[in-house]
Chains A and B, each alone.
Chain A
Amino acid sequence: MSSTFKAMVRVFLKAGVLDVQGKAVEQALHGLGFPGVADVRVGRLIQFEVAAADADEARTQVEAMCRRLLANPVIESFEVEIA
């Protein structure tokens, strides 16, 4: 029997990798009058439902999806939440 799980995946650039988008956001915020902003990092959040026998299997599946499509493991790290 399989049930449906809600998966939430957070993808961020690995520490040390230049975050061009984060840099642009930071500069724009400074330009808008928020001088206190520093160290902006931009990532993304991916939500979906996945059918699996149990939470462990759902997590294994989602992690495989992250490695193959949802994240670029060369420069990005990811966190998986299963609910």
Chain B
Amino acid sequence: MTSTSVTGPVTGPVPGLAGALQSGLKAEEYALIVKRLNREPNAVELGLFSVMWSEHCSYKSSRRHLRRFPTTGEVVIQGPGENAGVVDLGDGQACVFKMESHNHPSFIEPYQGAATGVGGIMRDVFTMGARPIALLNALRFGDPADPRTRRLVSGVVSGIGGYGNCVGVPTVGGEVNFHRGYNGNILVNAMCVGLAETDKIFYSAAPGPHLPVVYFGSKTGRDGIHGATMASAEFDAESEAKRPTVQVGDPFAEKLLIEATLELMASGAVAAIQDMGAAGLTSSSVEMAGKGGVGLELDLDRVPQREAGMSAYEMMLSESQERMLAILSPGREADAEAIFARWGLDAAVIGTTTETGRIVLRHRGEVVCDLPLAPLTDDAPLYDRPHTAPAKAPRLKAADIPAPEDWAQALIRLLGSPDLASRRWIWEQYDRHVMADSLEESDTGADAAVVRVHGARKAVAMTCDCTPRYVAADPLEGGKQAVAEAWRNLCAVGARPLAITDNLNFGNPEKPHIMGQIVAAIEGMSQACRALDFPVVSGNVSLYNETDGEAIPPTPVVGGVGLLAEASRRAVYSNLKAGQTLILVGETHGELGASLYLRDVLGREDGAPPPVDLERERAAGELVRALIADDGVRTVHDLSDGGLIVAVAEMALASGVGVKAQAPAGPPVGALFGEDQGRYLIAVDQAAPVLARAAAAGVAAAIIGRAGGETLAVEGLFSVSLACLRDAHEGWLPAFMAGSVNASAET
């Protein structure tokens, strides 16, 4: 064993314990490496261990708990463990999807951080053999009053649009929250949905020894070195010094990569394939060889390089974007080369698979790394971190909550609050129609985006959801609610919910109360997934989201995908017609704990979140789907943030028709603003058949109003013009971005 000669600015860690600590490993982890190898690793080898054993690549804190997720079901073709999950859409078609975080890079450099997040998640999807057809984003920013927030919103939104629009995949949906808990650590979670044929799904396990390993895509530079370990470390004031690790994305290169990859797959030359994401060449090569139970020999001198004099360490850890690693079927190098040349991509055969079970790297004539693969993959530490059960917030009674002094003002305030205000300023910057299959997107007033399967009558519905204030108040109920809301949003457009991807964003798992949040949220999500037949097929964990010891609100985002067998039978909330009757489906008890009314009108963040009754959730959702599929119901809105009156207002605004409503029984503040789960608002010409069908299904349903006029009125309480509500709803975000309001999310 000789040590590597290192040139250039990033020299890698010094060998030994000091270098291990500097690369993010713990002393006991380093001791374990030395024990497994029976020697000290050199700098390159230490680099490989530091990324493979990072939280980001090894899931060492969460893996034990993630096992509780249900991951199988009749529609599941591929569950977690591959680049993305795969579900069956029937007729030989499959949907491939995943969500992934790019939180830390987006805080450091919002444009490039968000852009490369979009690029990275797309690669996970087309690596499986799918053509990306839609993008969604779940974003969390700090308090609007924080001076950094506006710049971060602007940069992240431009970055998402810049990349997605250029690569030619529509951005069709998403969600945005503002809270001071994200001031120093925003969340950027990107989701990609793709379509593939069920018998042409590609996997990453190397099928055998003596096969060529080919690198293709963009050249390797010094960007993003140690991104995976950055994603696994807390932020502190010195993060400034970590800035050179930002990667720059090239969406036009990604477009070429999509086409070349899909063509290479169609040619039959691909035996296994993996994109180079976090930890670049290291994780892609180690995972392919490790999963296939083979070894790997790479000659790093053959890696296409953007800069002269890169060290082996730099090449193995670079996170340059738009790169892929494939193992070819024997003798197909020339075919592959022709495809890469046609698409103008850099490519090279950089090594072969072997029988040794070892990863051997050569650079400038020397062996710079020779490690058994098993310790890198299988022996990554698995922690059972101590966790304390989260304290339960007390359940609040609607009768104890003060009603607003001015009902109309309270509604105006909510509709114009940072969490409920129209996101038009954001989605107008996204190409939502490219590929020409977007049936419902951010602009059309639907609870989930709907994208047609090209050339077919069916469509895929998709949504991403989480209510962090519920999870903070009760991680178990909050976890259930995130899954239930995604399920509900899919039902609300008429889609059969199929499966979810998740993006678990939490603080430092080494703190027992944070670990307690993680454990309880996963348990709640698992319960909901089981009860709703909504398995988890892919996901991502982002821990250590803290700044100076202050954790973000727990944010387990759920990305749900559903199937509309007949795309024309779907519902939206933007086609309410004058004269129609509004029916509330589901039970209302006036749950105001952790509600938006409490936070944004009364200035209180307390109380238990609304409990999720999964049986009732399921019954209500199945009823709504049946009404859409069989009874011609076309106007549906789910009830969530802000409760019934906000849902009525959103339906009225999106449709341009007023509503005269009656508050359901109980204290009106709870009836109107309570955020009870498992509810839908539907509008129909004839109420009787709907009420009869609901009664037969054992689901509560009641007439709560009638459409017409240009005001929103609640009998005996208030009346307000739609124009006034619209001004508040549409006005906040553009005014905030223009710098003319500095409203806080908290009052």
- Which of chain B's residues has its CB closest to A17's CB? B248
- B221 near A18 (CB under 8 angstroms)? yes
**Assuming A74-B246, A75-B248, is B306 touching A18 (CB within 8 A)?**
yes
- A75 near B250 (CB under 8 angstroms)? no
- A74 near B250 (CB under 8 angstroms)? no
Q: Which of A16, A18, A27 contacts B9 (CB 8 A)?
A: A16
Which parts of A2-27 form the interface with B (CB within 8 Å)?
13-20, 23-24, 27
Complex: A23 Cα to B217 Cα, angstroms: 14
- A16 near B246 (CB under 8 angstroms)? no
- B244 near A18 (CB under 8 angstroms)? no
CB contacts (< 8 Å) of B344 on chain A: these are 27
- B223 near A16 (CB under 8 angstroms)? yes
Min CB distance A17 to B, Å, is: 6
- Which of chain A's residues has its CB closest to B113's CB? A74
**Assuming A23-B250, A74-B243, is B307 touching A16 (CB within 8 A)?**
yes
Complex: A74 Cα to B108 Cα, angstroms: 8
- B109 near A18 (CB under 8 angstroms)? no
Contact with B along A39-83 (1 / 0, CB 8 A): 000000000000000000000000000000000111100000000
- Which of chain A's residues has its CB closest to B9's CB? A16
- A20 near B307 (CB under 8 angstroms)? no
- A16 near B222 (CB under 8 angstroms)? yes
CB contacts (< 8 Å) of B321 on chain A: these are 18
Q: Which of A15, A16, A75 contacts B109 (CB 8 A)?
A: A75
CB contacts (< 8 Å) of B526 on chain A: these are none
Q: Which of A15, A20, A24, A27 contacts B248 (CB 8 A)?
A: A20
Min CB distance A25 to B, Å, is: 13
CB contacts (< 8 Å) of B112 on chain A: these are 75
Complex: A78 Cα to B158 Cα, angstroms: 23
CB contacts (< 8 Å) of A75 on chain B: these are 109, 112, 246, 248
Complex: A23 Cα to B252 Cα, angstroms: 11
- B244 near A14 (CB under 8 angstroms)? yes
Complex: A13 Cα to B244 Cα, angstroms: 11
Complex: A75 Cα to B115 Cα, angstroms: 14
- Which of chain B's residues has its CB closest to A74's CB? B109
Q: Say whether chain A's binding surface is mostly helix, strand, loop, or mixed.
A: loop
- A17 near B223 (CB under 8 angstroms)? yes
CB contacts (< 8 Å) of A20 on chain B: these are 248-250, 252-253
Q: Does B218 contact A (CB under 8 A)?
A: yes
Min CB distance B103 to A, Å, is: 16
Complex: A75 Cα to B155 Cα, angstroms: 14
CB contacts (< 8 Å) of A13 on chain B: these are 248
CB contacts (< 8 Å) of B250 on chain A: these are 18, 20, 23
CB contacts (< 8 Å) of B109 on chain A: these are 72, 74-75
Which parts of B231-250 form the interface with A (CB within 8 Å)?
243-244, 246-250
CB contacts (< 8 Å) of A74 on chain B: these are 108-109, 243, 246
Complex: A18 Cα to B224 Cα, angstroms: 11
- Which of chain A's residues has its CB closest to B308's CB? A39
- A16 near B218 (CB under 8 angstroms)? no
- B320 near A18 (CB under 8 angstroms)? yes
CB contacts (< 8 Å) of B306 on chain A: these are 18
CB contacts (< 8 Å) of A15 on chain B: these are 307
Min CB distance A61 to B, Å, is: 21
Complex: A55 Cα to B306 Cα, angstroms: 39
Complex: A14 Cα to B246 Cα, angstroms: 11
Min CB distance A2 to B, Å, is: 29
- B243 near A18 (CB under 8 angstroms)? no
Min CB distance A80 to B, Å, is: 20
- A18 near B223 (CB under 8 angstroms)? yes
Complex: A19 Cα to B248 Cα, angstroms: 8
Which parts of B211-225 form the interface with A (CB within 8 Å)?
218, 221-223
Min CB distance A41 to B, Å, is: 12
Complex: A24 Cα to B320 Cα, angstroms: 17
Which parts of B380-395 form the interface with A (CB within 8 Å)?
none
- Which of chain B's residues has its CB closest to A14's CB? B244
- Which of chain A's residues has its CB closest to B320's CB? A18
Residue of A13, A17, A23 with most partner-chain B CB within 10 A: A17
Min CB distance B638 to A, Å, is: 40
Complex: A23 Cα to B108 Cα, angstroms: 24
Min CB distance B166 to A, Å, is: 10
Min CB distance B317 to A, Å, is: 13
Min CB distance A27 to B, Å, is: 7
- Which of chain A's residues has its CB closest to B222's CB? A16
Which parts of B177-233 form the interface with A (CB within 8 Å)?
218, 221-223
Contact with A along B271-310 (1 / 0, CB 8 A): 0000000000000000000000000000000000011000
- Which of chain A's residues has its CB closest to B251's CB? A20
CB contacts (< 8 Å) of A72 on chain B: these are 109
Q: Which of A16, A19, A24, A27 contacts B244 (CB 8 A)?
A: A16
List residues of chain A with CB under 8 Å of any chain B CB: 13-20, 23-24, 27, 72-75
Q: A16-B244, A74-B109 are in contact. List 13 more A-B contacts (CB 8 A).
A: A13-B248, A16-B223, A16-B307, A17-B223, A17-B246, A18-B247, A18-B306, A18-B320, A18-B321, A19-B248, A24-B252, A27-B344, A74-B243
A-B contacts, 21 of them at CB < 8 A, read A15-B307, A16-B9, A16-B223, A16-B244, A17-B246, A17-B248, A18-B221, A18-B247, A18-B306, A18-B321, A19-B248, A20-B253, A24-B252, A27-B344, A73-B243, A74-B109, A74-B243, A74-B246, A75-B109, A75-B246, A75-B248
Give 7 closest A-B pairs by Cβ, nearest first.
Answer: A16-B222, A18-B248, A74-B109, A20-B250, A74-B243, A17-B248, A74-B246
